[in-house]
Amino acid sequence: MKWFLIFWGGPVMLLTGWYGLSYYDMSFGVFMLTREAHELVFRVYGSILGIPPETIPPLVARAMIVDSLIVFGLVALRKRRQIAAWYRRRYGASRSPEAPLASDANLSSAP
């Protein structure tokens, strides 16, 4: 699970970092972080896909959001018992679904 999150989070952070730095032209002397490279990359992708370059960033952002929801859903599915235990501790659920009610226990011990 750890490697799954690393292989998902690494490219997401790399792409987001590149996009933010190149969009605001914070190049630090690296061509790939310049605004010119930013526009060139999206022009190339736009010509390959046959769509206007300015429509690509929202599509990528939407895809990253959907992928993130899928990844967090898989993590939640995998950790559902831990999440349920945390929820019971946090919000004071006094019993597990398998435990009998306190009133049932009192009825069985009555003479």
Residue 107 within any structural domain of the chain: no
Mean pLDDT of the chain: 86
Residue 100 — very low, low, confident or very high, per pLDDT cuts 50/70/90? low
pLDDT at 59 over 70: yes
Residue 109 within any structural domain of the chain: no
Q: How many residues does the chain have?
A: 111
Domain range enclosing 60: 2-93
d(CA 12, CA 68): 9
Structure tokens at 35: 């605004």
| Residues 12-44: tens digit of each pLDDT | 999 999 999 999 999 999 999 999 999 999 999
Cβ-contact 7, 67 below 8 angstroms: no
Residue 111 within any structural domain of the chain: no
Structure tokens at 104: 């049932």
Domain count, the chain: 1
Q: In one letter, which amino acid is 70?
A: I
Q: What is the pTM assigned to this prediction?
A: 0.69
Residue 104 within any structural domain of the chain: no
Residue 58 — very low, low, confident or very high, per pLDDT cuts 50/70/90? very high
Residue 72 within any structural domain of the chain: yes
Q: 93 Cβ partners below 8 Å, 6+ apart?
A: 87
Residue 105 within any structural domain of the chain: no
